[in-house]
Every structure is written in C-alpha cells, then in structure tokens.
Amino acid sequence: MDVSKVASYVGRVLQKHDRALSDIAVHQTAFLELAAFVASYEHYRINGANVRLVHPAGDVLTVKTSTRGHPSKFSRAEVVSKTAEFEIHMNLPVRGAHSGGVFCVDVGVVASGSIPIKPKVIRGKEVWRACENRDLISFAEVKKLVVYPMLLAHFVGIVHELLPRFLVGRRPRGFKAAAHFDPLLLTLGSFSGTSQEVMKSFAKRRFALTVVPAFDVRLGRLRAGRNKKSPFDVRGDLSIPRAGRRAGAK
C-alpha cells in the first residue's frame, strides 16, 4: 500500500481534519476504508452531484472504524444528485436480502433518512441494529490484497447476500441516472493467477459489479490531476473485463 498517495488524496478532500487523519493513518486498514469513503464522495461530486460532509460532533471528523456504534454518531456524506438524495456511511451494518443476518460493509450508500438520527433506546440500550436491506443502494469493500480467484468468489458471496439482483444484471430503476456505482471491490494489488479468467466469466454471466485494482495508484493519479474520471471508472482499462457490461438500467 502506497500510504503517501492515499494520505495525500484523502488529505486534499478532508483538509480541515488533520488531527483525525493523523490518528487514523497509523491503522492502515481503517485508513483504507476512509479512503474508500472519500473516493465515494468524490465519485458523486465528479458526476455532478452536490455532496457535503456531515459531522455529528460539530466540525470534527469522526471516523467509524468498526462495527460498533450507531452510524448517526459518526461522520457521513449527504448527496443530492439530479434525481435522488442519499447518504454514504462507513462500516455500516446492513440486514441481508435473504435472512435477518446482519453484514457490515466498509462503505454503504443508502436512501436518505434511512438511518435514524437518534437511535431508539430501551432500558438504557440502543435497539437499532442495522440498516434495512431495502434501503441499501450499493456498497464498497476494500482489501489490502491482490485480486485472486478466491477473493472474487468471496466478494460475489457478499453481493449475493446483500444485493442479489446485481448478479442477474438487474439494477434498480433510476440507478444509472443517479450516477450510482455497482457493488465495488477495491484492491491495492493487480490481477493475479487466473483472476482475469474469473472476471471474463462474470461478464458472460452479466454480473453487474466492479473490481478496481491498484486503488492507491488511482487515487494518486486523481490527486495529481492526471485523471479527471471517477476513481471507480475502469472503462478503457484493457486489463479489466467489464462485468455486467450488458446489464442495462434506466
């Protein structure tokens, strides 16, 4: 992981929060999750949406680095696109699509207002456990790994449990118009072994998902002004078979 590139990029977007960034930078996994959150913020900004950071503690960045804690107690991004309003949260617990199981995603994009501002408390305990599955729009998982077949299989399993419609090429109505991204796997390494063959298979099966290798390098290019595209835009990258390329949505 090229920490300097990631830190430079995150620092540019979160200019007023140097203290919080210095505290979290020593924990690479948490810092990488924060980078994915900031990249999501930038994705929507680059695509023309109005995006603002909301901090529950005044103007202090509060980073959610684990599954613990209610999302309303941590910083989030509120997004207003041409067609929709929604929020971006870090380490967000979400209910599964097939059961009452709760899964925590590194970055979750959810419908506006789906996370209660004040969690309900009964007998001194918060009773809110997770975002309802119907309110989950998309999500991102970030790994400090190269792309290898079992990692891809693991990611498909997460998509199946949370947003299975994307595995049959069915994006929700208005998904593209709001400039949402398909479920994302962000990695620091490149494709290894037979992982590209797996990606070709995903494309043939019309999986609507995106794998972004060399995530830190992409952030570095964006920070340096050499790339004006979304950090999640892999179009034109010949090393990446486009999963779900034929799965259309309005």
pLDDT tens sequence across 217-230: 888 777 766 667 89
| The pLDDT value given to residue 17 | 46
pTM: 0.85
| The pLDDT value given to residue 248 | 41
Residue 191, amino acid: F
Which pLDDT tens digit goes with each residue over 137-190?
999 999 988 999 999 999 999 999 999 999 998 999 999 999 999 999 999 889
**In the predicted model, is pLDDT for residue 249 greater than 60?**
no
* Mean model confidence pLDDT for the chain: 85
Cα separation, 161 vs 183, whole angstroms: 12
Q: What is the mean pLDDT of residues 60-86?
A: 92
Which pLDDT tens digit goes with each residue over 117-136?
877 777 767 778 899 999 99
**In the predicted model, is pLDDT for residue 19 greater than 80?**
no
